[in-house]
Amino acid sequence: MEPSSVVETPSPTVSQRDQWIVESQVFQIYQLFSTIPPNAQSLMLELQRDKHIEYLSKGLRHLGSAFSVLDANRPWLCYWIIHAIALLGETIDDDLEDNTVDFLNRCQDPNGGFAGGPGQMPHLATTYASVNTLITLGGDKALASINRDKLYGFMRRMKQPNGGFRMHDEGEIDVRACYTAISVASVLNILDDELIKNVGDFILSCQTYEGGIAGEPGSEAHGGYTFCGLAAMILIGEANRLDLPRLLDWVVFRQGKECGFQGRTNKLVDGCYSFWQGGAVALLQRLQSVIEEQMVEASQSFTKSDAPDEKESSAGTSSHATSRIRREGISESCSSDVKNIGLNFINEWRESEPLFHSIALQQYILLCAQEQEGGLRDKPGKRRDHYHSCYCLSGLSLCQYSWSKRPDSPPLPKVVMGPYSNLLEPIHPLFNVVLERYREAHEFFSGL
Amino acid sequence: MAGKIEDESNDRVPLRLRPEWSDVTPIPQNNGPNPVVPINYSEEFSEVMDYFRAVYFANELSSRALSLTAEAISLNAGNYTVWHFRRSLLESLKVDLHVEREFVERVASGNSKNYQIWHHRRWVAEKLGLEARNSELEFTKKILSIDAKHYHAWSHRQWVLQTLGGWEDELNYCSELLAEDIFNNSAWNQRYFVITRSPFLGGIKAMRESEVLYTIEAIISYPENESSWRYLRGLYKDEATLYVNDTQVSSVCLKILRTKSNYLFVLSTLLDLICLGYQPNEDFRDAIEALRTSDNEEQDSDIARTICSILEQVDPIRVNYWVWRKSRLPQAA
């Protein structure tokens, strides 16, 4: 910050003021951290496992009346809590496990899909949360409880001609709906041409001039929707249709000096974007060859010449040709190809440097997002909640494994911030379930 | 019962005591004997939802059911099933949607970050059609005056413009918001939306010249503002040649480089331009040379590599990205 000069500096805008307030809170923490001895630093960096598990387990058994506003989101509460516990390498009691399977079954609509609570209408987001919860629990009982045929029917009913999906009967259409539908269909092995049809067109129309992806065509690029859009495109085999270099550039610039990620340009850091944005970068890293192809293509579309008009048209032709290929997708996606995308994505892993700053992000999560009494939060000054606990921990896992040769190879101690006991379970970055659980589910459903 | 006592519950007559509900048997939630994530509902909440389930499962399209949905929504505005049923009721009872709109507005005042409210609002506006246009634009403007980056409000506003029109003042509105806060990325996004889609403006090609001028002025005032740089790049989407050849772009880059401050986005933009084929002249080489801080840094004849090296130093949070960009540079000619 430059000191004010003789000329009167204008008063800060709302964006500037809000940003400086958060920066000062965050830097205060980092400042304190830098002044204390190494032993104390180690303590500060410790992931409060026991406290987090206590907070999470409690929520599974009992929630106060303030949670009435989440009465149509109970499968989400299950997923946030159970996935977070799984990341911490713990399991829940058998009775709780059975009760969860039973409860989610009561949320399952006889005509397909899972609702926000027993007796409510099925909804794509709560379907995603339910399915991911059951996969995280694992075991035949949990996995077999999903009525795949009916679920497929539900998705077909939600499918729209423009390629998108409605979140529920007559509900809103957006990129989240695409991701929740495609993600579930993929992992349950019910993804087909009918569900895939035009999804790519819809998501493509949601990529903005900034490079990120919005919820609907025309809206602002946003971290949550960017993850959803990118993951969905990968799952249908059409990621190459996006402007990936621009997407990557937008996402990496969402990590600021606070070390965490913001959701949108010029907005505030928030722990949950550790997963949405960090996850998007992790996905993009697996698409490096496509990104490089697109960068080469872009550099070739410009030609310098003495006769700019003439050359422009021929350059225009070639870039039109390549962008036509990009629009139509390099290969026709067909059912047999998409069936194994999720599995191949992690099996064809190559070692690579993370393109975001993994240590910095870990620093934000451990020092700014943890509540000492258990649970994780958006930022200092905000209260903990189960959603942020889930996504901060998911982001932390991503960071820890971001250098790994294989998606589940144990990382070297130097890439794990704080004590090595901070190490979490690895996830499948397309679905955000613990990798081992995903593999089990994939095997279970691939024969069906 | 555990939980705080609301003022209203002292005046509120429980449904089971209301004569107009005496014929209805409330249906408890099918939570099962050992539910997980069980919520300790207030008595009022349980009762309202038990009666809701009764009318919902019976598909009772009556005015008492309509009132009940209002009660349910006030207790949990996120229950999309209740909203959905309310829409069926509104249609079958042929309710005046102007009145409904006021209802939504009251609910929204406590709850504006809620998908269901905005979806319902869109549904009502769609039914009302053109006559709803001004009130919808006013409503979103009101929300945006409190939170100028409210995601749902902006989406709704965009939907209104595309479906019902009202584009005439929108570019002005964006300019007003940007005058208040040049860092408001939502307003920049809206600006892009307007110049590309407004039927009155002729599209991006027609608007490009004036928009470049506007944006460059914004860049000069606040070179550290990422929004304006991304917008500038966006003006040349799919037109790499025009972008590379626009001397206004290169000259604002040079101007800011020479101030030796707030040049992060200048360097990033230059790097992109070079990757697209731009060839910086001597002035640029000198200005970039002047930024190199240490003598230990290798002298690089390739200006793009130099830029990457500088970025690795001055933008450490993205060091891995700049290293990767450097490795991906086209071979020096």
**Residue from B1, B50, B15, B44 nearest B30 by CA:** B50
Instruction: Supply angle C-alpha B63, B66, B71, rounded to 5.
Output: 130
| Contact between B154 and A220 using a beta-carbon 8 Å cutoff | yes
Q: How confident is the model at residue A349 (pLDDT cuts 50, 70, 90)?
A: confident
Q: How confident is the model at residue B292 (pLDDT cuts 50, 70, 90)?
A: confident
Find the range with the poorest average confidence among A267-281, B39-53, B318-332.
B318-332
Q: B105 CB contacts (<8 Å, ≥6 apart)?
A: B139
CA A171 – CA A162 distance, rounded (Å): 15
| Contact between B226 and A266 using a beta-carbon 8 Å cutoff | yes
pLDDT in tens, B170-202: 999 999 999 999 999 999 999 999 999 999 999
Q: How confident is the model at residue A352 (pLDDT cuts 50, 70, 90)?
A: confident
Mean pLDDT of B48-71: 98
pLDDT in tens, A386-400: 999 999 999 999 999
CB-closest option in A121, A257, A296 to B81:
A121
Question: Which entry of A74, A264, A384, A428 is annotated as an active-site residue?
Answer: A264
Find the range with the poorest average confidence among A428-437, B5-14, B37-46, B211-220.
B5-14
CA A193 – CA A198 distance, rounded (Å): 9
Tell me whether residue A264 is one of the annotated catalytic residues: yes
CA A203 – CA A229 distance, rounded (Å): 6
A99: which chain B residues are within 8 Å (Cβ-Cβ)? Answer: 32, 34-36
d(CA A339, nearest CA chain B) in Å: 32
Tell me whether residue A148 is one of the annotated catalytic residues: no
Residue B1, pLDDT above cutoff 80 = no
pLDDT in tens, A50-90: 999 999 999 999 999 999 999 999 999 999 999 999 999 99
Burial tier of A438 (Cβ tally within 10 Å: 0-12, 13-18, 19+): buried
Find the range with the poorest average confidence among A291-305, A314-328, B20-34, B221-235.
A314-328
Q: B33 CB contacts (<8 Å, ≥6 apart)?
A: none
Q: What percent of chain B has pLDDT over 90?
A: 88
A355: which chain B residues are within 8 Å (Cβ-Cβ)? Answer: 320-321, 324
- Extract the tokens encoding A174: 């957006």
Is residue A197 a contact partner of residue A166, using CB atoms and an 8 Å limit? no
Question: Which entry of A178, A270, A387, A391 is annotated as an active-site residue?
Answer: A270
3-class DSSP assignment, residue B128: helix
A103: which chain B residues are within 8 Å (Cβ-Cβ)? Answer: 31-32, 35-37
β partners of residue A166? A173
Q: If you search the block for the tokens 């006592």, which residue do you land on? A: B5
A151: left (phi over 0), alpha (psi -120 to 50) or beta: alpha
Residue B307 pLDDT: 96
Q: Which helix H or strand E contains A427, and what residues bound it?
A: strand A427-428
Q: How confident is the model at residue B73 (pLDDT cuts 50, 70, 90)?
A: very high
Residues within 8 A of A (CB atoms), B 35-74 only: 35-42, 45, 49, 53, 56-57
**Does CATH number 3.40.920.10 belong to domain A39-60+73-299+337-446?**
no
Residue A10 pLDDT: 79
Beta strands, E only, A75-214: none
Tell me whether residue A273 is one of the annotated catalytic residues: yes
- Extract the tokens encoding B331: 């071979």
d(CA A182, nearest CA chain B) in Å: 21
Find the range with the poorest average confidence among A236-240, B47-51, B59-63, B111-115.
B111-115
Q: How confident is the model at residue B114 (pLDDT cuts 50, 70, 90)?
A: confident
Residue B294 pLDDT: 66
**Residue from A446, A444, A438, A430 nearest A190 by CA:** A446
Taking the Cβ of residue B148 and every Cβ of chain A, the question of whether any pair is shorter than 8 Å is answered with: yes
Mean pLDDT of A180-186: 98
What residues of B act catalytically?
113
Residue B295 pLDDT: 57
| Contact between B39 and A68 using a beta-carbon 8 Å cutoff | yes
Residue A101 pLDDT: 98
| Contact between B41 and A71 using a beta-carbon 8 Å cutoff | yes
Mean pLDDT of B155-167: 97
Q: A32 CB contacts (<8 Å, ≥6 apart)?
A: none
CA B210 – CA B22 distance, rounded (Å): 68
| Contact between A355 and B320 using a beta-carbon 8 Å cutoff | yes
| Contact between A218 and B158 using a beta-carbon 8 Å cutoff | yes
Q: According to DSSP H, which parts of A115-173 are helical? A: 124-137, 140-144, 148-158
CA B219 – CA A313 distance, rounded (Å): 31
Residue A448 pLDDT: 84
d(CA B198, nearest CA chain A) in Å: 12
A394-416 b/e with 16+ CB inside 10 Å = b? bbbbbbbbbbbeebbeebeeebb
| Contact between A70 and B184 using a beta-carbon 8 Å cutoff | no
| Contact between A69 and B76 using a beta-carbon 8 Å cutoff | yes
Q: Which long-range contacts (CB under 8 A, 24 or more apart) does A54-57 make?
A: A54/A374, A55/A373, A55/A374, A55/A375, A55/A384, A55/A389, A56/A81, A56/A84, A56/A85, A56/A374, A56/A375, A56/A386, A56/A389, A57/A81, A57/A85, A57/A92
Residue A236 pLDDT: 97
Residue B297, pLDDT above cutoff 60 = no
| Contact between A168 and B38 using a beta-carbon 8 Å cutoff | no
A127: which chain B residues are within 8 Å (Cβ-Cβ)? Answer: none
Q: How confident is the model at residue A341 (pLDDT cuts 50, 70, 90)?
A: very high
| Contact between B30 and A81 using a beta-carbon 8 Å cutoff | no
Residue A129, pLDDT above cutoff 80 = yes
Domain ranges in chain A are 39-60+73-299+337-446
Length of chain A in terms of residues written: 448
B294 vs A358: which has the higher pLDDT: A358
Residue A245, pLDDT above cutoff 90 = yes
Q: What percent of chain B has pLDDT over 70?
A: 94
- The chain B residue lying nearest A13, using CA atoms, is B181
Residue A330, pLDDT above cutoff 50 = no
Taking the Cβ of residue B244 and every Cβ of chain A, the question of whether any pair is shorter than 8 Å is answered with: yes
Is residue A429 a contact partner of residue A282, using CB atoms and an 8 Å limit? yes
Residue A205, pLDDT above cutoff 70 = yes
- Extract the tokens encoding A166: 């409605």
A266: which chain B residues are within 8 Å (Cβ-Cβ)? Answer: 183-185, 225-227
Tell me whether residue A385 is one of the annotated catalytic residues: yes
CA B104 – CA B127 distance, rounded (Å): 14
Residue B125, pLDDT above cutoff 90 = yes
**Residue from A403, A376, A404 nearest A391 by CA:** A376
Averaged confidence pLDDT in chain B: 93
Q: If you search the block for the tokens 């599995």, which residue do you land on? A: A343
Residue A327 pLDDT: 42
B237: which chain A residues are within 8 Å (Cβ-Cβ)? Answer: 209
Residue A98, pLDDT above cutoff 80 = yes
d(CA B131, nearest CA chain A) in Å: 23
User: Across the A/B interface, how many CB contacts are shorter than 8 Å?
Assistant: 229
Residue A152, pLDDT above cutoff 90 = yes
CB-closest option in B77, B80, B184 to A15:
B184
Tell me whether residue A428 is one of the annotated catalytic residues: no
Residue A303, pLDDT above cutoff 90 = no
Find the range with the poorest average confidence among A14-18, A177-181, A349-353, B151-155.
A349-353
- The chain A residue lying nearest B229, using CA atoms, is A210
| Contact between B38 and A118 using a beta-carbon 8 Å cutoff | no
Find the range with the poorest average confidence among A306-320, A352-366, B260-274, B288-302.
A306-320
- Extract the tokens encoding A55: 């907070």
Is residue A339 a contact partner of residue A191, using CB atoms and an 8 Å limit? yes
Q: Which long-range contacts (CB under 8 A, 24 or more apart) does B22-28 make?
A: B24/B51, B24/B54, B24/B55, B25/B54, B26/B50, B26/B51, B26/B53, B26/B54, B27/A119, B27/B53, B27/B54, B27/B57, B28/B53
Mean pLDDT of A365-376: 97
Length of chain B in terms of residues written: 333
| Contact between B162 and A218 using a beta-carbon 8 Å cutoff | yes
